Structure 1
């Protein structure tokens, strides 16, 4: 005798319901409902908040504050989600939590946000070091400046080869710069200033041929500024002030013709004459202070139409100054303190409309000119 239809439904209905529930739960395990943030990323964000010491986030709030990713961090508080994925599912692509009084540690859970491209956590009270889990991320921008991070710069940072901007200044990192950073071949900006870094720069950094900005000031490096700086042909800004290096300044710095900002100061050791900077046509900010420089004032420096600040103070430059500075139409500040210049004061320098400060102290003369 064949089973009745009611008996079949009584047996199969619970199984069918169980299968449907299992399917639905599986479908929503990694993806939110249409138009929402992926559930696993909600949990990851809450982990991130806990590890950072961020208060106020919970599952019942929309953690995504914006949906448009700027090319560069532009705010102190943003969680940016990209909702252009199939089904309207959103994924976290950027986190900006700057100046939020965070007192935790750098979150390991960042690894659980596979679409994250930008992370900016500067000006907090975060401690510890960069977690090894971050080596598996696809970060492009990482700003960790002005925190309380300690330890050596981890070598596994070199595994985040997608990085274009790396800035960890004003922390307490110590030790040498790991050569693994030379694997960051897409890096455009590297800022290591105001730490306790020491030793010589590794030769592997010569591989960073996309580098446009390098800032190393206020550290305890040793040795000379390396000759391999000539590899950074695209460099726009080079800042090496009070970094511990020994002079002289490499002569091949003249090959960095894209420079607009060159700041070098407090070099140790023997001096030299000012290297030939004439090929650097668009220099805007030039500081070569306390570098044990000797010789005469280079006349070509009076023919740099983009120059706004010139600082050659605390050197051993001598002889007369060029008779005219008319080739510097937008010069605002000029510091020639503590040199051995002689001869007449340059004509017309005290009538320059753009010039705000001129300071000489080598002949017990101090002149300050303010823009009216």
Structure 2
């Protein structure tokens, strides 16, 4: 039995009687105006395979014995609510769990250290919570994902993770396609070895206090499409090895301390559409060839640098360009429209 009431403008609380549907395998009430605590009777529907309560105003804590109550659960989607408290350790006993989606809540404490041992787990989204505040074991859970052969997406953006990026991150499964640790309190350098994650298409480390150069092995991320390192303290030149990543479409490197010239470092990335290198220490001229190659550019922001010389005429060939910001540089000559 399935019950789907998504996008139906429902209001109020979930009725206790819903828990009497003991043969219900799929329950979806996402994107409504529902509120209140989840009735305990819902957690007694042991046949549930999918529980989706996303984008409502539910609150309360998750039951500590969730593994006993919902042993058959495969998809737990609770994002966009006001759930609080800790992620129950017992969740790691739900052996069939495939997707754990808990973003945009008020969950706190440490992530269960053996979460990555779940054999079928493919996606984990914990972003925009209050997880791990100044705890020694902030990153212990990552070690469990080194043995995971199925996990493809791991998102921990905008929490309270602190300290350095652990070296064990370089040993995550090569199956990983999406990794996000943006908006935390991370410092230090990016450990060597992340280039081993060759199937990554999205990597977001923005809005931390990370420093040092972009590691040379980033050039091995030949499937990368989205790279965001903005709002950090990175320095050095933007590596020419990034030029080897022909799939790059979105590159955000703003508000760092990068030096050198951007024009010659992304020559092979012909799919580039969004490039933000604003608020760095870049200098030199903008190579006309850069614009001849990147005809798909939609967004280019290189403001607040020390770029100089004339603006190339080739800018006028960017037919898809919507945002072009080169303010607060040292350009000279005539601007052609």
Shared fold, TM over 0.5: yes
In the other structure, the counterpart of 1:175 is 163
* Distance change >3 Å, CA 113–CA 316, structure 1 → 2: same
Contact 1:153/1:175 (8 A) holds in 2 = no
In the other structure, the counterpart of 1:23 is none
Which of 128, 149, 163 in structure 2 is aligned with 1:146? 128
Which structure 1 segments of 5+ residues have no match? 1-33, 38-52, 78-89, 348-372
Which of 260, 265, 274 in structure 1 is aligned with 2:254? 265
Matched, 1:110 2:110: no
Matched, 1:94 2:75: yes
Q: Which has the higher strand share?
A: 2
Which of 221, 233, 246 in structure 1 is aligned with 2:235? 246
1:166-315 matched pairs, under 5 angstroms? 166-181=154-169, 182-268=171-257, 271-274=259-262, 275-303=264-292, 304-315=294-305
* Distance change >3 Å, CA 117–CA 130, structure 1 → 2: same
In the other structure, the counterpart of 1:350 is none
Which structure 2 segments of 5+ residues have no match? 1-21, 26-35, 57-70
Give the 3-state SS of the residue equivalent to 1:203 in structure 2: coil
Give the 3-state SS of the residue equivalent to 1:102 in structure 2: strand
Q: Choose 95-104 or 154-163, whichever is displaced more.
A: 154-163
For the residues of structure 1 that align with 2:178 and 2:197, how far apart are their CA atoms? Answer: 10
In the other structure, the counterpart of 2:108 is 127
Contact 2:303/2:328 (8 A) holds in 1 = yes
Indicate the structure (1 or 2) with the bigger Cα radius of gyration: 1
Contact 2:53/2:78 (8 A) holds in 1 = no
CA deviation profile, 1:326-355 (whole Å, cap 9, x unmatched):
3211111011011011111113xxxxxxxx
In the other structure, the counterpart of 2:17 is none
Give the 3-state SS of the residue equivalent to 2:193 in structure 1: helix
Question: How many correspondences in the alignment?
Answer: 284
Give the 3-state SS of the residue equivalent to 1:197 in structure 2: strand
In the other structure, the counterpart of 2:33 is none
For the residues of structure 2 that align with 1:205 and 1:265, how far apart are their CA atoms? Answer: 21
In the other structure, the counterpart of 2:19 is none
* Distance change >3 Å, CA 99–CA 205, structure 1 → 2: same
Offset of residue 63 of structure 1 = 6.9
Give the 3-state SS of the residue equivalent to 2:162 in structure 1: strand
Contact 1:157/1:180 (8 A) holds in 2 = no
Pairwise CA RMSD: 2.8
TM-score (norm 2): 0.77
* Distance change >3 Å, CA 59–CA 166, structure 1 → 2: closer
Offset of residue 325 of structure 1 = 2.8
